[in-house]
Amino acid sequence: MLIALPNIDGSFTVTLFLALKGGAESFAALDSRETVDAFFASQFPDVVPLMPGLAREFLERPVGGWVRSMRMHGRPAKPPCCSAMQRMRSCRSTARA
């Protein structure tokens, strides 16, 4: 997933969500201008013309890591998709009754 958030000066801050390693579609695999250009051309072709210097800027920026949150009382939080799926299931079962 690729998101772009607008800045006050009219530019955008772009964030790419991708596996750190493991296969052709990971940050570890994007290690040269050629691989970065090929990846973005195949996965996000509409943004390539809007981002001059994409490969150079991509390779100059640090790669972040995984963020895991904790509930206030110290237990790991459930992934949001699990609770959302439970709510969807309960809504469906209520609607059918």
Given a cut of 80, is residue 95 above it in pLDDT?
no
Q: What is the CA radius of gyration of the chain?
A: 19
Predicted confidence at residue 77, as pLDDT, reads 54
Where in the sequence is the domain holding 15, given as residue range(s)?
A: 2-60
In a domain, 11, yes or no: yes
Q: For 1-20, how does the pLDDT look when each residue is reduced to its tens digit (9 = 90+)?
A: 999 999 999 998 898 988 88
Q: For 19-53, how does the pLDDT look when each residue is reduced to its tens digit (9 = 90+)?
A: 888 888 899 999 999 999 999 999 999 999 999 99
Provide the CA 6 distance to its chain's centre, in angstroms. Answer: 16
pTM, 2 dp:
0.64
Given a cut of 70, is residue 85 above it in pLDDT?
no
In a domain, 6, yes or no: yes
In a domain, 73, yes or no: no
Predicted confidence at residue 61, as pLDDT, reads 87
In a domain, 24, yes or no: yes
Domains in the chain, number = 1
In a domain, 93, yes or no: no
The Cα 62–Cα 59 span in angstroms is 8
Predicted confidence at residue 24, as pLDDT, reads 84
The Cα 24–Cα 35 span in angstroms is 9
In a domain, 85, yes or no: no
Residues with Cβ within 8 Å of 28's Cβ and at least 6 positions away in sequence, in order, are 20, 21, 22
Predicted confidence at residue 63, as pLDDT, reads 82
